[in-house]
Amino acid sequence: MDRLEIAMRDVEDARVGALSRMKWVAAGLLAAALAGLALASWQGGEGGWGWLQSFCEASAVGAIADWFAVVALFRRPLGLPLPHTAILPRSKARVADGLAHFVRDHFLEPTSLVLRLAELDPARRLGDWLADPARVHDWVAEGRRWALKAVGLFDDERMRRATLELIVAQARRWNSAATAAEVLTLLTQGGRHHELLDAGLEKIGGFLAEDEVKQRVSELMVRHARKEWPKVVGMVELVTPVARMADGLASRLSASVLGELRDVLSQPHHPVRQRYDKWLAEFIERLRDDESLIAAFDRVKERAITDPAVIDYAGGVWNDIKRLLQADLADERSALAEHVAQAMRDVGDRLREDASLRASLNEHLLSAAGTIAANLRAGVTTHIAQTIKDWDDRQLVEQLELSVGRDLQFIRINGTVVGGLAGLALHALRLLLQ
């Protein structure tokens, strides 16, 4: 038995003991009233005994009436099938529905919930909480310990094997071609793919404009010409150096290509761009519908998740990462934890200083709270009502009696005392009238 269960049992025993003591006190007062009534009646009820008889008689009546009222709440007095007794067990369904509707209407009504949250200014409270170094330190320290335990789970070979099997199973179910199609569709919205094309063309243009590149192209042309047409090159060398001709040709070739690139970059409807659009659109459609292309993606995916070399490499990388994480998280001065704590403090400071950010966060929080409350109302109401209805009648009575029974015993005690005082008052009035 853990400490929580022991503590709960101790609390339960204390409540049972307190209720039992109060019952004995109330019963003792009733017994005293009955004994006093018997004694006064035996003495004839004259003089001072009359006062005692009136007090005890009214006190006993009040005690019995209040005992009946208290017991009738929870069970049938003396087991008699009297009407309007055992009120709580018999009204369990009505109480359950009433409580559930009360919670629904007063705690989960979206408009009132949002208004109450707005009064609390949750963004400012969050900022104050995050800006408190002590709170952040405690929270991050606890998070660091939990993270260390979570990472340590993967020291178990069974956990590693189960995780790998789960990843492989999920990867096999993943339609990689369809995902690639969705990504490309997203990247092409609003002409964003032309920005990528422009960046690529500008990079190529800058590369071709470099003297070193033109020199390399010239050397390749000379080398190729000497290999393929040695006699022609020999005859040309008699007139002019072939290397000079190659240099000029490389420069003109670079200028020609650069001119074409400038045309493509400057003309939104250039044929190259149109062909680029058409090719990309066709490729996206093929990713969705072309069985051969989808099968090719699946073959690549299958090789990636089953190749021993890939698995060993991924396992080695993960082991290195895990060791680094464990070493850092085990350190009281963890760098990762300090980065998290600093980020939390920065967010807290920003929330405290930036009114517009608080307003934006509050707006989103209140909207989310309203949506959640609206979605939860029916489910929570049904859950509360059904949970109470499913309680065992005896258990329900025991728990309610332990919760409020001690206070109800005071009603019996008060009834005994107040009844006796009322008896004295009535006896005095009777004497006065006589």
pLDDT, tens only, 289-339? 888 988 998 888 888 888 888 888 888 888 888 888 888 888 888 888 899
pLDDT in tens, 106-140: 777 777 777 887 888 888 888 888 888 888 888 88
Q: What is the mean pLDDT of residues 35-46?
A: 79
| Other beta carbons less than 10 A from residue 416's beta carbon | 28
Question: Which tokens in the block code for residue 6?
Answer: 């022991």
Do residues 313 and 89 lie in contact, with contact meaning Cβ atoms separated by under 8 Å?
Answer: no
End-to-end CA distance of the chain: 70
Residue 413: pLDDT over 60: yes
Please report the pLDDT score of residue 154 as a whole number.
Answer: 79
Domain assignments of the chain as residue spans, ordered by start: 10-90+392-433, 170-325
Please report the pLDDT score of residue 216 as a whole number.
Answer: 80
pLDDT in tens, 211-231: 787 788 777 777 777 777 677
Residue 235: pLDDT over 80: no
Please report the pLDDT score of residue 276 as a whole number.
Answer: 84
Cut 0.75: pTM above it: no
Average pLDDT of the residues of the chain: 80
Q: Per-residue confidence at 242, pLDDT binned at 50, 70, 90?
A: low
Ramachandran category for residue 334: left, alpha or beta (phi over 0 → left; psi -120 to 50 → alpha):
beta
From CA 382, how far away is CA 377, in angstroms rounded? Answer: 9
From CA 92, how far away is CA 396, in angstroms rounded? Answer: 9
Q: What is the mean pLDDT of residues 4-26?
A: 69
Please report the pLDDT score of residue 8 as a whole number.
Answer: 54
Main-chain dihedrals φ then ψ at residue 333, nearest 5 degrees: -100, 40
396 versus 119: the higher-pLDDT residue is: 119
Where does residue 322 rank: exposed (0-12), middle (13-18), buried (19+ CB within 10 A)?
middle
pLDDT in tens, 144-196: 889 888 888 877 778 878 888 888 888 888 888 889 889 888 888 878 888 88
What residues contact 66, with CB distance under 8 A and at least 6 apart?
A: 411, 412, 414, 415, 416
| Other beta carbons less than 10 A from residue 127's beta carbon | 22
Q: Strand, coil or helix: what is 43?
A: coil
8-state DSSP, 240: S
Q: Per-residue confidence at 233, pLDDT binned at 50, 70, 90?
A: low
Q: What does 78-120 look like in DSSP terms, one character per residue? A: GG---TT-SHHHHTHHHHHHHHHHHHHHHHS-HHHHHHHHHHH
Please report the pLDDT score of residue 11 as a whole number.
Answer: 56
Please report the pLDDT score of residue 237 as a whole number.
Answer: 66
Q: What is the mean pLDDT of residues 27-53?
A: 81
Least confident piece of the model among 41-50, 79-88, 164-173: 79-88
Q: Which of 306-320, 353-367, 413-427 has the highest mean pLDDT?
A: 353-367
Q: Per-residue confidence at 232, pLDDT binned at 50, 70, 90?
A: low
Please report the pLDDT score of residue 4 as a whole number.
Answer: 47
